[in-house]
Structures are given as structure tokens and as C-alpha cells.
Homo-oligomer: A and B are copies of this chain.
Amino acid sequence: MTIAFTTELPREGFQRLVERGLGDWSLVKPHPTSAYRGGEEMEEWQEAEILVSTFDYRVPREMMETMPNLRLIANFGAGYNNIDLSACRERGIIVTNTPQPVVEPTAELAFALMIDVARRVSEFDREIRKGLSNPPRNGDELCYPIPFGVMRHLSHSLYGKTLGIIGMGRIGQSLARRAIASGMRVIYHNRKPVEVPRDKVPSTKDWRAEVIEVPRDKVPSTKDWLAEVIRQAEYVDFQTILQDSDYLSLNLPYTPEVHHIIGKPELGMMKRSAYLINTARGAHVDEKALVEALQNGIIAGAALDVYENEPAIHPELLRLPNVVLSPHTGTGTWEGRIAMCENVCDNIIAYLDGRTEEMDIVM
């Protein structure tokens, strides 16, 4: 059995394959451009029945054509728009993803970016570090990087404010849980309100029990507490979420219909005191319009993990003090990466055992 990898992933995440005696896979490093271009390095995995691809590595039809035995693409990531699904459909290739392990890390980063831009943490850290340009005379002396003071360096609280979440899926709901515990009111907008089946609404006691008793050896299911969050958050229409949010977080998947869902008109409807947080996909936001809004005080600030032309970033964003920028690392914790690898393993093993109902099949 040959399993081909597009990307070097941590071996410790694939222990379950080793335990199954599947340790003899091919590991092929990707092109520097993270995209298939053909060539010699593909020869060694032409025999592969299973391909492990990562969300940032494009798997086009031409690449699949070099792999006659390919039956399963076990994608590492929740998104799978890196894969040519129509080619898979024609060939009968199964595609799986890793939807669950990405939830908590991504919601955590959305919350981190929101609280960072509100409390100006990165901005203050940057100001303090500039003190090194006027360093003390020797290494043991203290330096005085910026003045402290009771009315200096003021920021804004999350507490008591309204968080608007566009896209109340698993990640949005996990973000809502953190926000509610931080004293925020949560409103959300989807194409339609999230329906929680009546028999799945847990008692408050169950919800809390699950929050408290987090199994430390695995990523727990979050479905029960999420149902409770949905009961508390308020569904509003698109115009209302733009107008009422103090913090507006994008947590919806990308499709062409939501291209530039936040553009110049939408930014103009937001509060001048509002902050935009995007950990979903860069193309949700008209980046040029956002830069203009930030420069002209149309909104107060932004915190971005994703960009319209990644890894390129509009250079003016790098100059704005009221912006926090991270390099598309929403799911990028060591713990999350290992859990995603293990999810890939589980999909592969379920495939080999014919337990397709246990696989995270997207097509």
C-alpha cells in the first residue's frame, strides 16, 4: 500500500497508520509554489492508491491523471477547494476532509485577534519594543521605552459589547461560547437561522459539564454545547448585523456568492467604532475598500488572518496602527495540526476497512 503525501506533516500525527502496519508510505515534498507542476518527483508515487493533500496544495486533474490507482484523497483541512472535485467525480475518487479538529483552534484565533485589536496588545508591544532604538548604555541597565499613565494607552473592552458573527457554523458557535463568557451579547447572520433539533438541546447542566470536563487526550465533540449557544445567540438580518455589531467576525465558508460580502457599502453601514475580524477567507472582503475605510475612520480597526491575494497583503495594511495581521494560521497550533493528522489517519483506516459511514466524505 502506497500513500502519497503532498506536504511534509509531523510523523507523530500518523502513529495510527504505523500501528496498522502502514508505515511504508511515500513522502513527497511539495513544489515551493504549493501547486502541482508535474515533473520527476511525481514518479515515485504513481502507484499510490491514497493521496494525503493539504488545504494549501492544489490537486488539479493533470496531477490525478499521473496516478492511475488513486481511489482516495484524504485532504488535511476543513476546506477542500484545492481539489478538482469534478475530476474526482468522473474517476470515482473519494474525497475526505478534517472538519472537527479545526473548530477550536480557529475559533480561538478569531477570539485572539478580536481581543488583541480591542485591547491594542500588538500595537502596545510594538511601541514598547521601539524603545530598543534608544537602548540603555549597557546590558544591565533598565530602559524606559514609553511613558506609563492612567489616561495613556486606553483601549476598548469586549465586556458588554455586541459581537456579530456572519456564518454561525461550528467555528462561529465556538467563538460565540467564548464571547458569552466574556460578557458579550452575540448576534449572528446566516442564510437562515440555525435549527437545533429539539431532542438535541441539552440541559444547561450537561452543557456546563462538557465545558468543564474537557478530555485532555483528544478533541471532544462540541455539538452539545453548541446547541446551547445557539439558543442564546440572536438571529438578525444582514443589515442589522452590519449596523449593530461592535465587533463583526466572518466565519462563513467561501463560495462565489459571498465574494466581497464586505465591501465599501457594507463597511459604510458599520459603526465608526466597530472592528472587523476575518479568519475565514480573504475574498470575503474587498481588501482595497477595507484599507480605505480604515484610513478614513469609517470603521475603528480590523484583525485579519486571511487576505484576498495570499500570501500577498495590501501594503497599506502593514502601515496602519489599528490593524492586527496574522499569516493564515487559524488552525495552526501544534495540537490542532496533530489532531488534523489523526483525523486523516482515521479517514484512511475507515476507508481500508470499508467503514465509509465513519469517514468525513465531502464527495
Chain B residue numbers with a CB within 8 Å of A332 are 150, 152-155
Selected contact of A157 from candidates B104, B155, B325, CB within 8 Å:
B104
Nearest residue (CB) in B for A136 is B315
**A180 contacts B212, CB within 8 Å?**
yes
Residues of B contacting A236 with CB < 8 Å? none
Contact (Cβ within 8 A) B129 A318: yes
Is A151 a contact of B337 with CB atoms below 8 Å? yes
Taking a contact as CB atoms under 8 Å apart, the answer to whether B181 and A128 are in contact is no
Contacts of A56 in B (CB 8 A): 148-150
- Taking CB as reference atom, which chain B residue is nearest A334? B154
A126: chain B residues within 8 A (beta carbon): 122, 125-126, 129
What count of chain A residues pass the 8 Å CB interface test? Answer: 95
Q: How many copies does the complex hold?
A: 2
Tell me if A259 is interfacial: C-beta within 8 Å of chain B: no
Do B185 and A181 touch (CB < 8 A)? Answer: no
Segment with Cβ contacts to B, from A19-27, A111-119, A189-197: A111-119
Contacts of A328 in B (CB 8 A): 148
CB distance from A202 to the nearest CB of B (A): 12
What are 6 inter-chain pairs, A to B, with CB distance below 8 A? Answer: A104-B157, A108-B157, A121-B324, A135-B315, A142-B314, A145-B311
Which residues does chain B contribute within 8 Å of A333, judged by CB atoms? 119, 154-157
A108 B143 Cβ-Cβ under 8 A:
no
Evaluate contact between A214 and B178: CB separation under 8 angstroms: no
Residues from chain B with Cβ under 8 Å of A215 in the complex: 160
A7 near B151 with CB under 8 A, answer yes
Residues in chain B near residue A319, CB distance under 8 A: 132
Q: Contact check, B335 vs A160: say whether CB atoms are below 8 A apart.
A: yes
Residues of B within 8 A of A335 (CB): 156-157, 159-160
